[in-house]
Chain A
Amino acid sequence: MMERVTYLYPEIALFITTCIVMIVGLSRELKHRKLCAPISGLGLLAAGVLATGLVPGFHVATGAEVDPTAGQILLPNLVPYAKVLVAGVGILLLLLQAGTVDRVEEARIASGRAAFNPLRSNRAEYYAFFLFSLTGLMLCASADDLIWLFLALELTSLPTYIMVTMSTSRHSSQEAGVKYFFLGALGAAVFLYGFTLLYGATGSTNLNQIHHAIAAGGLSGLSLAGMLLALLGVCFKIAAVPMHFYTADVYQGAASSVSAFLAFVPKTAGFIAILLLASCAGWTHGAGDSLPDALRTVLWVIAALTMTVGNVLAIWQNSVKRILAYSSIAHSGYMLVGVVAGPGGGTFATSGIAAVLFYLLCYGVMNIGTFGVLACLEGRAGADGEPAEIESLDDLRGLCQRHPVLGWTMVICTLSLLGLPPLLGFFGKVPLFTSAISAGEIPLVVVLGLNSAIAAFYYLRIVGSCLLEKPETTTGIVRVTPFGSRPAGALASAAGVIVLAIFGNGFMAASEKAAAYDGGHVEKKEPRAAGVPETAPQALGPAKAEGH
């Protein structure tokens, strides 16, 4: 049982932080309330450090070290990678959250027009929900059981519904929150239904056992139906076709800082879930493994449709937030290419899983920059004292001249999203190309290439607005937010886009390791059916050596 706990140190650290934040955020003293964000950051930092497993005495067990029937052994090395990734990107996201809630309320208190009223203050809840969601995301990575996976996915999602709703006082935020909640509930119901069918077909909720059952008996009709429904439900989390309809409205309705959160956190949770489910269904970790045909075809179609729908619809938008929302759909499609490609030969260039994991990092970093710039700008304050959100392309006109730092951040991050070399997005896309071609998915690669080209239409509009247009005199109403950490977050993202492109090798190695399967343990304890080739366990070797 204790092994189970060693599995969860980062989550425990985050949970403790959450509790502290909830209390501190309700303090009557402003200076105490202001500690919410720093404490959250420290918590994330601690969780990230714990997740690396490098802290003496806090060795984080991977699934394979835990009882193979209990810990998740399908992608055991995914756990530390995902958690470190979540902590790192979480800190960047945290920088954008400053001032998202309680801005008007704090101003009233500061001016003496109101006394502090815990019932009216949202700060504590907001940061708590932020951390809860990230906790859920980390738990997803450790999931070894359908029930656990379901709960973790819901723990990731439920706080986001509330964050969307409370992010601004506009009606559109509330509308977005409600829409997101109901469609999210639908998605949850769908994949829960799929989970029950999987349980019915295989007799277990344990991922390892489901994997063995499917490996032994093949993918029966019932388990295939369960798997498809589960994937369909998870498509909601990653905003993939056909569950993408909410995306643009929700991203537009929420504050930009929350949209940035939505673009990364549920998507990452969804992709982890997809990788786990796909591992259950087909990847037996031999070289060149692929999914069962039916599943592969469905994922192929979803990937192609998701890219195309996202990119084509983005062309017609005039709101930057909606463009970015559709681009987020398209990027899910790109990553699904990696899922279709499968584990391949296990090296970074051939493994679709590694490509997905690396792309999650790339997408997380570069997307924060774009939403971050939007979060840094604000319009004139409305009647309730809350400044308007910036979202139209016109608001960005001449940004490079008005606010060079923000403008160039936007340009760099947008070009990176486009996949223009030598920025990070390009290096995220190359492994998708290489792994899919290695897996023989050449038509899908062509679709991917064409979609990247379509994407140029709308990304160029954003770049053109910032870089080429002259600032209008009327856009003087757009000003920079007073919260200094938001530009810091955006700038960090732009820096990451450049720096990771140059020094990304370590991260590539880490994602390769995360995608590798630790064959040794299972082969010893449960010899599987003959014909399953021995896989290369070299990737995990050093990590375990330093662990023990």
Chain B
Amino acid sequence: MNELYLFLLMVIPLAAAGVVALGPAGREKSVSMAAMLLCGVITLLLLLAFDWTRAATMQFEASVAWLPRLGLSLSVGVDSVALLLIALTALLGPICVACSYTAITERVRTYYAWLLVLQSAMFGVFAARDLVLFYIAFEFTLVPMYVLIALYGSTNRKKAATKFFLYTFTGSMIALAGLVYVAWHAAEMRKGWSFDIATLELAARTLPASAQGWVLAALLAGFAVKVPLFPLHTWLPLAHTEAPTAGSVILAGVLLKLGTYGIYRFAIPFAPAAFAEYAPAISAVCIVGILYGGLICWVQTDVKKLVAYSSVAHLGFCILGMAALNTAGLSGSIMYMINHGLSTGALFLLIGMIYERYHTRNMKELGGLAAKMPVWATFMVFFAMASVGLPGLNGFVSEFLCLIGAFQADGRWGAGSMGSGLWGSGGAAVPGATWGSLGPWYAGVAGVGMIVAAMYLLYMVGRVVFGPLVEPAGHGHEAHGSESHAAPGHGSESHAAPGHGSESRATTGHGSESRATTERVHGVLPADLNLREILTLAPLAVLCLGLGVYPTPVLEAINGPVQKTAYMVEDAVKPRLAGERAPAGVRPVFDLGGHEATNPDGTKPKEGEVIGQ
């Protein structure tokens, strides 16, 4: 029965999408909400039925034959990591529906139908235990998101949607080549094609080093675009800015996690040695992303773009933790996936609420909203703090773990050998050091990113939430920056009355159409948040607080899979170091258990270079 649940998670939203698209008009909100909540209930049942004592094993596994000639099957199953991400998806689903109630007024049925299709595809990604099923779900998220951005976004939406689609599609075509290569390697060994992920993970261990490098490159091409890592991130700010609120929430909350999840689930297990070898390079890219993203945020005037760029920086932390390849780093990374989904999703919700009221996201036109929207302001400050990484809130736990992971992942100190680095040379032991090729320098530089994050987020909060009240002078889109630079005082006076207008999109046949425009939005939205909006934010806030104060259950839950992954990488790297059988040109960057790493010619490898740069 439990096995069916995972299939149900994929089928229910799809079926609901069909009902919404073809059924009677006017029911779309309730039908989609019901479907999303039903998925939530199923997820809850799954969480209860899951055997957390053996979290690393795949549970609820089920498989249905499908195109056996190609070795495909509809296989599903989850470990605790996948299940938690499913839970995140299921949590954000109803929230996305709820936050669209008043924002979407045109082509409503299409909107909710695509939202549901997207939900189904996202469940599919996390539940898949067949590589092709994963890939299908992964790719299929593109179409709904493309439509959501291109139909319901703001001014530049088509360009944003197309850019989003093309970037991710290009990356994933290359990733497909890499994945098929792994499948081929497995087929060579097993004499039969199969895309079963567990089988492929086993087979990938025998991939030669050079092949692993290429596989890693191909997979990263697909997943790093989605994350997005630094040089490949350019689609993200545009897509976020143009997307409707629910689109942004899903994009930040779940879709970006498809990239990190892909790296965790495929790039590391399929190319463990190569991932370990290139971990410094990957981390370097992450750190550049962290700092660069942070600095870009600092100069943004568009609130939504600011949060979008902050995602680039935050996910840099996430991948940095992953590249540490030790328990702390990997746990932090997975925690980060969940936490980022909660806090950034909430920030996008909050910005969406402002946008619905003022039709601007320009920080110059907004200010001191705490005076007028105390509830909103409270949430804003709270989630900004969570995003900054204030201790006691969820962001802190994961960010700290990622940095600790990177800090400790320094094999040179791990067993007291070597220790020729620039930092504390002479074998100054990092407490709890693990093998790995990062180290304090990586963690230290990345840590600067936390400060930058505090700067830009607090700057934004200070400007928008506190200070003198500023509201857009004009109404609606036209006011987007031209005549609206009124002095703060002026703005507050002329709009002290809740009379900011809206344009046609905010109307919902409320009977008040004939009245003045200024009145219309009032029929729908109060000055501060209404109950629906508070209810969409409250669960996120509770979780942010809960995961910040007491993250232990989640950390324990993901400990099993994380250790499995860490050991797996270690196993893959060990033989390469043990006998120095690494092919010429591959510099061993690890040193395990007291072994003196030497090159075949007897000289010591120049490891200092890694740190020194």
Contacts and interface: CB of A to CB of B under 8 A. Distances in A.
Contacts of B68: 505
A498 interface: no
Interface in A409-467: 415, 420-422, 426-427, 430-431, 433-434, 437-438, 442, 445-446, 448-450, 452-453, 456-457, 460, 464, 467
B268 interface: no
A456 B162 CA distance: 9
B51 interface: no
Contacts of A480: none
Contact of A431 (B70, B147, B176): B70
A453 B170 contact: yes
B486 interface: no
Contact of B173 (A350, A453, A464): A453
Contacts of B67: 427, 504-505, 508
A509 interface: yes
A349 interface: yes
Interface in A84-123: none
B142 interface: yes
Interface stretch (B177-185, B236-244, B293-301): B177-185
Contact of B70 (A349, A449, A450, A457): A349
Interface in B149-178: 150-151, 158, 162, 165-166, 169-170, 173-174, 176-177
B174 to A, nearest CB: 5
Nearest to A434: B180
Given A420-B143, A460-B162, A505 B180 contact: no
Nearest to A511: B69
Contact of B147 (A468, A502, A509): A468
Nearest to B149: A468
Given A422-B140, A468-B147, A456 B176 contact: no
Contact of B181 (A348, A442, A464): A442
B213 to A, nearest CB: 13
A347 interface: yes
Contact of A446 (B70, B71, B174, B187): B174
Most buried by A among B71, B136, B165, B177: B177
* Residue in B143, B151, B176 with the greatest tally of chain A CB atoms within 10 Å: B176
Given A348-B69, A504-B67, A452 B173 contact: yes
A345 to B, nearest CB: 9
A449 B132 CA distance: 16
B176 A433 contact: yes
Interface string A467-507: 11000000000000000000000000000000000101100
B174 A450 contact: yes
Contacts of A421: 132, 135-136, 139-140
A467 to B, nearest CB: 7
A438 B180 CA distance: 9
A505 B69 contact: yes
A154 interface: no
Q: Is the interface of B mostly helix, strand, loop or mixed?
A: helix
B69 A456 contact: no
A504 B177 CA distance: 22
A477 to B, nearest CB: 24
Q: Which of under 10, 10 to 19, 20 to 34, or 35 or more describes the interface residues of A?
A: 35 or more
B70 A508 contact: yes
B5 interface: no
B71 A349 contact: yes
A430 B70 contact: yes
B466 interface: no
B143 A468 contact: no
Interface string A181-196: 0000000000000000
Interface in A160-200: none
Contacts of B193: 347, 349-350, 434
Contacts of A378: none
Contact of B165 (A348, A426, A456, A504): A456
A452 B169 CA distance: 9
Contacts of A456: 165-166, 169-170
B192 to A, nearest CB: 8
Nearest to B135: A421
B71 A449 contact: no
Nearest to A512: B69
A430 B170 CA distance: 16
Contact of A427 (B70, B162, B214): B70
A453 B166 contact: yes
B70 A426 contact: no
Contacts of A420: 139-140, 142-143
Contacts of A457: 166
Contacts of A448: 177
B451 to A, nearest CB: 38
22 contacts: A347-B69, A348-B70, A421-B132, A421-B140, A422-B136, A430-B132, A433-B176, A433-B177, A434-B183, A437-B177, A438-B184, A449-B173, A452-B173, A453-B166, A453-B170, A457-B166, A460-B146, A464-B158, A505-B66, A505-B68, A508-B67, A508-B69
| The 7 residue pairs across chains A and B that have the minimum distance between CB atoms | A453-B170, A421-B136, A508-B69, A449-B173, A349-B193, A348-B69, A422-B136
Given A420-B143, A434-B180, A453-B169, 12 more contacts: A347-B69, A349-B69, A349-B71, A350-B187, A350-B193, A434-B184, A437-B177, A438-B187, A442-B214, A449-B173, A450-B174, A468-B158
